[in-house]
Amino acid sequence: MGRYNPDSAEIIRRVALKPVSIGLLGLGTVGGGTVKVLKRNAFEITRRAGREIQIVAAAARNLKHPRQCDTTGMRLTMNPFEIVADPEVDIVVELIGGLAPAKELVLKALDAGKHVVTANKMLIALHGNEIFAKAQERGLMVAFEAAVAGGIPIIKAVREGLAGNTVEWLAGIINGTCNFILSEMREKGRDFAEALAEAQALGYAEADPSFDVEGIDAAHKLTILASTAFGIPLQFDKVYVEGIRGITALDVSYAEALGYRIKLLGIARRTGEGIELRVHPTLIPARRLIANVEGVMNAVLVKGDAVGPTLYYGAGAGAEPTASAVVADIIDVVRTLTSDPENRVPHLAFQPGAISDIPVLPMEAVETAYYLRLSAEDKPGVLADVARILADHRISIEAVIQKEPRHGETQLPVILLTHRVRERELNQALRRIEALPTVGGPVKRIRLEPLG
Candidate residues 59, 262, 317, 323; the one interacting with a copy of itself per rule CB under 8 A = 323
- Judged by CB under 8 A, the stretch of 169-177, 276-284, 312-320, 375-383 that binds a copy of itself is 312-320
- Per the CB < 8 A criterion, the answer to whether 213 and 178 are in contact is yes
- Judged by CB under 8 A, the stretch of 11-19, 129-137, 170-178, 275-283 that binds a copy of itself is 11-19
- Judged by CB under 8 A, the stretch of 61-69, 105-113, 194-202, 304-312 that binds a copy of itself is 304-312
Catalytic site residues?
Answer: 221
**By the rule CB under 8 A, 172 interacts with a copy of itself:** no
Give 360 or 417: the residue with its C-beta nearer to a copy of itself. 360
In angstroms, give the least distance from the CB of 317 to a copy of itself: 11
Site string for a copy of itself, 183-222 (x = CB under 8 A): ----------------------------------------
**By the rule CB under 8 A, 133 interacts with a copy of itself:** no
Give 8 or 438: the residue with its C-beta nearer to a copy of itself. 8
Cα 63 versus chain centre, distance? 32
**By the rule CB under 8 A, 2 interacts with a copy of itself:** no
Candidate residues 358, 365, 383, 397; the one interacting with a copy of itself per rule CB under 8 A = 358
- Per the CB < 8 A criterion, the answer to whether 335 and 343 are in contact is no
In the region spanning residues 326 to 355, those forming contacts with a copy of itself, defined by CB under 8 A, are: 326-328, 330-332, 334-340, 342-346, 349-351, 353-354
Candidate residues 103, 115, 156, 261; the one interacting with a copy of itself per rule CB under 8 A = 156
Give 1 or 435: the residue with its C-beta nearer to a copy of itself. 1
In the region spanning residues 49 to 78, those forming contacts with a copy of itself, defined by CB under 8 A, are: 49-50
In the region spanning residues 136 to 155, those forming contacts with a copy of itself, defined by CB under 8 A, are: 145, 150-153
In angstroms, give the least distance from the CB of 44 to a copy of itself: 5
In the region spanning residues 260 to 299, those forming contacts with a copy of itself, defined by CB under 8 A, are: 289, 292-293, 299
- Judged by CB under 8 A, the stretch of 116-124, 164-172, 378-386, 440-448 that binds a copy of itself is 164-172
